[in-house]
Amino acid sequence: MPEGTYQFTQEFFPDQVTFCHLNIGIDGISLYFLMLTTLIMPISILSNWENISPSFSNSSNDYLRGGPTRIRAAFLLFLYTLFGSLFILLAFVVIYYNVGSTDFQIISLSDINFDSQKILFLAIFISIAVKTPLVPFNTWLTYAHSEAPVGGSIVLAGVILKLATYGFIRIMLQFLPDACSYYSPLVQMFAIISVIYASLSTLRQTDFKKLVAYSSVSHVAVVVLGLFSNTIQGIEGAIILSLAHGLVSPALFFLVGGVLYDRYHTRTIRYYRGLVAYIPVFALFFFVFTIFNAAVPLSANWVGETLCLIGTFQRNPLAGVLGATGIVLSAAYSIWLYNRLTFGSSMSFDINRREYIILLPLLILSIVLGIYPNVVLNDIHSSVSSLIYT
């Protein structure tokens, strides 16, 4: 989109309500996150299709049901979310007091002084770090993923976590460029700790949903590294990796939570073995999405992680080296999980038609983004260029 401008803008309540104006629009960055959301939402509903009742109330209960410790998971989710929301709410009150508007374009053109930017940055960073999540704010995510039904995990991985990426881009990089430059070493330190901690944590998991959840923490930490590299390659790579994660991670959650768990009703990795001999189509899909999750060449994850690390190396070589350890550890836990589930002896019940319909679009889009990422990069380039701070 030209010059990073907003397109398809629409203003609501322009005359009727003087104290409330709502303006919406999309640019090159927003477009692909919007498209990802429109893909993931029907997939999440289809993944829970067999549990949907003709009665709306029963359908809602079925869709929102979870595992045996779902109360604790819900408590942690609301606790962390409300805790983070408090800081960003206060930050926007301060921004409105100083700028006189909450319009994104007006705020981005205003001159917020450096001291105010530093305080606002810390408040907004805490809020978005909870939603990312970065260590030490990640406890809620593993509980939420492990206890949520498969549709909930798909929405959480494919849509909700992308709000953090979008928040970093649209709020922090755009409104607080000086503070981003000042605090970038601190943010990259949190991201590196998250990459290493989450990757090592995956190697000790016995619950396959928790394993995939920890891998999500590792990948979004690489996204944060790219976003705060202050390079076009790093920010574009972060967007590509976010989109790739929004395709691959929901597919993995569906495979382990919507295929295996529906058939055998256990998430314990030790229970499974020999799946390749009995459900070969599942084993094929699981292999492809597992290696995509490990960022092999020609996958969208590889394009995103490579661009993120290239951008990080340009500004901070040490951070780039430490961040690259996530690729090695990602390959380790991905290969271990696939080998443990698919080889040996046992099991049955292969992929059915509904599961084909869910997995094929995620697979095709992951391959297309891996082979031809310019379909996205060309559209977001002008929008990303305006985010680079000097």
CA contacts within 13 A on the Cβ side of 48: 25
CA angle 301, 307, 311 (to 5 degrees): 145
pTM: 0.83
Give dist(CA 158, CA 32) in Å, integer: 12
Of the two residues 37 and 48, the one the predictor is more confident about is 37
CA contacts within 13 A on the Cβ side of 110: 20
Give dist(CA 162, CA 157) in Å, integer: 8
Q: What is the 3-state secondary structure (H, E, C) of 331-362?
A: HHHHHHHHHHHHCCCCCCCCCCHHHHHHHHHH
For residue 77, name the pLDDT band (cuts at 50, 70, 90).
confident
Say what the pLDDT of residue 122 is. 92
What pLDDT digit, counting tens, does each position of 199-226 carry?
Answer: 888 888 888 888 888 888 999 999 999 9
Residue 348, judged by CB atoms within 10 A of its CB (0-12, 13-18, 19+), counts as exposed
What pLDDT digit, counting tens, does each position of 136-174 carry?
Answer: 888 888 888 878 888 888 988 888 888 888 999 988 888
Give dist(CA 223, CA 241) in Å, integer: 7
**8 A C-beta contact, residue 146 and residue 267:** yes
Whether the bond between 136 and the residue before it is cis, its omega within 30 degrees of 0, is yes
